[in-house]
Amino acid sequence: MTIDPITLSVIQAGLQQVCDEMDLSFSRAAFSPVIAEANDRSDGIYSATDGALIAQGAGGLPVFVGTMQYSTRVLIERIAQGMTPAPRPGDIYIVNDPYLGGTHLMDVRFARPFYRDGEIFCWLSNTGHWPDTGGAVPGGFSASATSVEQEGLRLPPVRLFKQGVMDDEIYSIICSNIRVADQRIGDVKAQAAALEVGATRLDVLLDRYGDDVVRAAIAELRLRAEAQMRALINEIADGIYGSTAWIDSDGVVNEPLAIRLTIEKTPGHLRFDFAGSSPPCMGPMNSVLATTLSSVYLAMRHIFPEVPISAGAFAPLEVIRPTGTFLDAHYPRPVSGCAAEVSQRIAEAVFAALVEALPDRVTAAPAGTSGNFALGGHDPETGRDYVMYQLSGGGYGGSASGDGIANGCSTIGISKAPPVEIMEQNFPVLYHRYALREGSGGAGTHRGGLGLDYELELRRGNARASFVMDHGRFGPQGALGGADGARNEVEVIRGGTSHVPEHLSKEQDIPLGPGDRVRVRTPGGGGYGPPSGRNPNLAAEDKRLGRT
C-alpha cells in the first residue's frame, strides 16, 4: 500500500498525540509528586508481534524508550510460551522485574493489549516511578544492597486488571509489601486511566484512517526512521572510537567501576562493545541488559534528535551483549542505581567516544546524576507515614554552539525536580537553600552549565535518609580540552556535626531528627574546548561572577 506523504505525516503526528495525551493524563491524575510534578513517567505504543516501539510521548523519559520495548517483547514471549496468562480485552499487566526488561524496582510498568475486531492491534504501555516498593529503606534506593530482595517487591507480569476490574487480591499483596500503601491507589488508577485515554484516542485515529492504512503507515515510518538514522551515522568517518567513563563505587566496595566502550563505525552502522568494563559488582550499581541497551539508544537520540522515536531508529545500532560485566546484571544482583545513575555513565561514554568525530553535535559530559535522595519517616503533626523522593538537576556540558544550560534535567529524561513549595506542603521539611551552584561548570571555550545547591531541614518527627547518586569522585568529563565539571557533594548535618558519606554520594539509613539538615551540591557540566579559546568578554564576565 502506498501512502501519500501528507497522510503519513498526519498519522505520525496522530500516534505521537495519543502518547502525549497518555503522558498528560498520567501526570494530572497521579498522587505522588514524583509523577504529578516531576513527570517521572512515560507512555508508548508497541507492536503486537515483537513489542517494537511505534511511538512514545514527547514528554516521556527517553531511558524508558528501550526498556518498555524490551519488556513488551518479553511479555509477548511469555504469553506465547504459556508462562503468563493470555490477555483479554480490558486486561492490564503490571510488572517491575528488572530482569524482564526493566530498570529498578521503583519503575513500575503497566501493559494493556489494544484490540480491533477481536484481535490485538498493538500494546499500550506506561512506566511510572512509584516512591516506594518496599525493601530495606524507604524509597527503594538502598545504597548498600547486595541482593535485589533488599531493594523491594519484585513483580513478574501479572494481570492487575482483569477485563477492566482491578484484582483486589493482587493489589492487597502489593500493598502489604510497600510503605504508605494507602497512597498508592492514586498512582495505580492514574496509570490505568492513562492507558484508557490512549485506547480511546487510538480508536478515533483508526476509525478515521482505517486499520490497514495506519498499519501500513507504522511500517513505513519504521523504515524511514531506520534510513534516516543510517544517513546520519554516515556523518561519522569509518573507524574505531573509544572512551572510558567511571562510576564512583557500587555503594558496598569503595572502588570505582569502569565503563569501557569501543564503537566501530562502518557504513550506516554503529557497533557498541563494552568488553573490558568492570565485572558484576556487589552493590546496587549493576545494570540490567534492557537499561544498558536503552542507555545507548538515548545517547544517540541526544546526538541525532531529529530522528523520529521508532524501533527503526535503533536498527543501525548494534550493542554487543556485555556478558561478564556489571552492565548485564542477572538475578539476584541489586540494580537500584542502574536507571538513574549507570545509564547516564553509559551515555557519557558514548558522548566521550564520539565528540571528536561529531564536534558540532556532541557535547561535553552533563552532570550525569539524578541525585536520588529518599527520606522516609513519620509526621507527628499529620499522624501519617511518608516517603519523600527528591531528584535534582545539574549542569549541561558545553558544546560547539555555546555554554551548557544551568540546572538542566538529567541525561535520561525530561523529568524535573518537584517544586519546593509542593515538597514542603507534602512532607515535614523546610528548604533553606535552593540555588545555582556558582563556579561548578567546567572551564572551556564554552563553559559547562552550573549545578544545583540545595539544603533542607527536617522540621519534626524522625526520619531516615538514603542517597544513591554519582559523580562524587569524578566530575563530568570536559571535551576537546575543556575542564571537568565540579563533583557531586553530599553533607548531612546532625546535631550540628557534619557528616560526609564514606562513598561520597551513596549511603543509606542515616537517622535524622528535628533540626537536622541535608545539603546537596550537584555537578556542573564539563567544559568544551580549551579555556584559552574563550571570548575575552565572556572570560571577564566569568571572573566578575566568581566562576573562575
Contact 365/476 with Cβ under 8 angstroms? yes
- Sign of the alpha-carbon dihedral angle for 225, 226, 229, 234: negative
What's the pLDDT at 2? 84
What's the pLDDT at 477? 97
Angle at which helix 184-209 crosses helix 5-29, to 10 degrees, equals 160
Reduced to 3 states, what is the DSSP secondary structure of residue 345?
A: helix
Degrees (nearest 5) of the Cα angle 479, 485, 490?
Answer: 150
Contact 501/440 with Cβ under 8 angstroms? no
| CB neighbours of residue 249 within 10 Å | 23
Contact 55/309 with Cβ under 8 angstroms? yes
What's the pLDDT at 1? 75
Contact 88/163 with Cβ under 8 angstroms? yes
What's the pLDDT at 412? 76
Q: Which helix (H) or strand (E) holds 496?
A: none
| CB neighbours of residue 324 within 10 Å | 11
Which residues touch 146 (CB under 8 Å, ≥6 apart)? 252, 282, 283, 334
Q: What is the chain's alpha carbon radius of gyration, rounded to the nearest angstrom?
A: 23
Find the distance separating the first CA and the last CA of the chain, reported in whole Å.
61
- What residue segments make up the domains of the chain, in order of their start? 5-226, 363-548
Residues of the chain with pLDDT under 50: none
- Spatial distance between the Cα atoms of 117 and 218, rounded to a whole number of angstroms: 19
Per-residue DSSP letters for 224-262? HHHHHHHHHHTTSPSEEEEEEEEES--SSS-S-EEEEEE
Over residues 233-242, the pLDDT tens digits come to 999 999 999 9
What's the pLDDT at 480? 97
Which candidate, 346, 360, 312, 329, places its Cα nearest to that of 151? 329
E strands of 2-149, at which residues?
41-47, 53-56, 92-95, 107-116, 119-129
Q: Record the cell numbers describing residue 264, joined without a space.
A: 566501530
Contact 221/52 with Cβ under 8 angstroms? no
